[in-house]
Amino acid sequence: MVQVQPALHMSRNGELRFVFHDLVLPSGLDQKVSAALAGVQAGKTDNLKLDSEGGAQATSPKSRYLQTGIALGLAAVSAAGDGDADVLNKAAGGVGGFKLVGIAVGIAARSNSLGIAMGALGASRSIYVHFIARGRDVVFPKNTAMQIDIGVRPAASEKPSQQ
């Protein structure tokens, strides 16, 4: 059985849970088992967290707070300009909005308004992407190596031994 919860808006990430109750061998032997996903081959950048019950959940990187803070700071610096002579303020707005291309355009255009607009765009885009947009789904590419722990369940008629 597989339980799936897709990613939702407001950065709520998806979840995927594997639960195995029966193991049927090619010979026809049917065994009741209790099995759960114990490990998966994933890189650190995949931001994947496994729980003890066989669930895999996508996680958001902690750097999203830092990235949004930097974007807001750059927007504030670009808005604090005192005239067309302040090249740093225009470049700050450009880097917040469009990275290197934004720096070049902000400096070349010599427009304080353009620097403020690019800074505001970068800050609002960072807030949207990191906190408002749809979260991340759990994705296992084809042939992903997984470790599944299998334990035998006692049959319903059997009583567990008391010690």
Question: If you write DSSP's letter for every residue of 48-70 in order, what string do you get?
Answer: EEE-TTSEEEE---THHHHHHHH
Per residue in 69-127, pLDDT tens? 888 887 777 777 655 446 666 666 666 656 666 667 766 776 777 777 777 888 888 88
Q: Are residue 67 and residue 53 in the same domain, yes or no?
A: no
70 plus 107 within the same structural domain? yes
Q: Is residue 161 part of a domain?
A: no
**Distance set, CA 67 to CA 8, 34, 73 (Å):** 21, 42, 10
**Domain presence at residue 157:** no
Q: Which domain holds residue 93?
A: 63-132
Note whether residue 158 is domain-resident. Answer: no
- pTM higher than the cut 0.85: no
pLDDT in tens, 74-87: 777 777 765 544 66
User: Per-residue pLDDT averaged across 8-15, rounded?
Assistant: 83
Q: Quick one: how far is CA 99 from the chain centroid?
A: 22
